[in-house]
Amino acid sequence: MPAHNLSEDVSDDEASFAPRPVDEISDAESVDEDAVPRQKIEIDNKIALERIRNTIRLDPSLSWTETLVVSYPETIDVDVDDDLNRELAFYKQALHSAQAAKSLAAKHNFPFTRPSDYFAEMVKSDAHMERIRQRLLDESAAIKRSEEKRKEREGKKFGKQVQMEKLQERQRGKKEMEERLKGLKRKRKGALDNPQEDDDGFDVEVEDAVSDRPTKRARGAGPGGKKLPRQVRDKKFGFGGPRKRAKQNTKASTDNFEPRAGGGKGVRGAKGKGGAKAGAKRPGKSRRMAARSRS
C-alpha cells in the first residue's frame, strides 16, 4: 500500500473516532438498547508508528552526552498475561541500560557520581521541617495534657471515694450515738421507776456517750460491777456536802491561839520556833552590771 494512501486511511480513522456534537447525531445512529455489544477492534499499524517515530527521532550527529539515550538491543517477546516474566524482562532491560550508561559516561569523561564534598540540600525546606517540628511538639503537649487530665480525674474520683467513706463513717457514728442514748434513756427510765438507784453511774454513762468514749465503770461500782454499800462509798469517796467558804474563819478558829506548824509568829502573839535564816541579799542592778563588766 502506498504511503499517501496509508496516511489517508489514518486520517479517515481519526476522523471517524473524532467527537461530534449531540445535535449532529441522527436517530439512526442512536444507541440501540437491544443491540448485542461487539468487541473493540485493536489496530496495530506498524507503518504509521514507524513513520511517527522517524519524525520525532533525535539527530544522530549529536553527542551521547547531549541525549543520554540508551537502547536495549534485544527484542522482548513475553506473554502480556505473564506478569512474572514481564517484570523480569523490565528488570533486565533497566540493568542493561544502567551498565551501558555507566560505560558510556566513563568513555566520554562524563561525571555521574556525587563528590565527597558535595552539599546536597534537603528535599524538604526549612520552613516545612519547622512546621513538622511544631506539629510534633503540639502532639506531645496534647498527650501530656491528656495524661494530666486523666490523673486529675482519677484524683477527683479517689477524693470522692474518700469523702463518701468519711460521710458513711459519720453516719455510722451518729447511728451508734443514737443507739447508746436510747439505751441510756431506757436505763434512766428504769432508775426513775426505782428511786433507790444511784444517779452517778447514769451521769458517767451519758458523758461517755456524748464524748464518744467507751462506757466506763460507774463511780462506786465494785470489781464485779455491783455497787458498794453506802457506808463504804462514803468512807472511800466522801459524802459530799457544801465546799464553799471552806477556809473561812469560824468561832473555833478565831478563839484558837495555838502556834501554827512551820515556825513563825503564833496567832495573837504566840511564840513560834522562827523561820529559817534568810539567804544573802541580791545585789542591785548597778553592782551586777559592774561585776559583769569586770569579768
Task: Please give the pLDDT value at position 117.
Answer: 79
Sequence-ordered alpha helix ranges (H) in the chain: 3-16, 46-56, 64-67, 83-107, 126-193, 200-210, 230-237, 251-254, 285-294
Task: Please give the pLDDT value at position 192.
Answer: 59
60, three cell numbers = 544522530
Distances (CA, A) of 212 to 175, 182, 184, 294: 12, 14, 14, 64
Task: Please give the pLDDT value at position 91.
Answer: 94
Place of cell 474563819: 249
Task: Please give the pLDDT value at position 92.
Answer: 94
Task: Please give the pLDDT value at position 44.
Answer: 85
Task: Please give the pLDDT value at position 7.
Answer: 45
Domain-wise residue ranges, the chain: 3-19+43-107
Task: Please give the pLDDT value at position 17.
Answer: 47
| Cβ atoms of 257 and 268 closer than 8 Å | yes
CB count within 10 Å of CB 110 equals 14
Distances (CA, A) of 8 to 16, 18, 48, 52, 56: 12, 15, 11, 15, 20
Closest CA to 74 of 87, 56, 92: 92
HSE-CB of 292 using CA atoms within 13 angstroms: 7
Cα dihedral sign for 203, 209, 211, 215?
positive
Q: Return the SS3 of 227.
A: strand
> Between the CA atoms of 204, 209, 210 and 214, what dihedral angle is there, to the nearest 10 degrees?
90
pLDDT in tens, the chain (295 residues): 444 444 444 445 444 444 455 455 455 555 566 766 777 777 889 999 999 999 988 888 888 899 889 989 888 888 888 889 999 999 999 999 999 999 999 999 998 888 887 777 778 888 898 999 999 999 999 999 999 988 888 888 888 888 888 888 998 888 888 888 888 777 776 665 555 555 555 555 555 555 555 444 555 555 555 677 777 877 777 766 666 677 788 888 888 887 766 554 544 545 555 555 666 788 888 889 888 888 7
CB count within 10 Å of CB 84 equals 8
219, three cell numbers = 463511780
pTM over 0.95: no
Task: Please give the pLDDT value at position 8.
Answer: 47
Per the rule left: phi > 0, alpha: psi between -120 and 50, beta: everything else, 182 is alpha
124, three cell numbers = 524538604
List, in order, residues 6 or more apart from 273 with CB less than 8 Å away: 263, 264
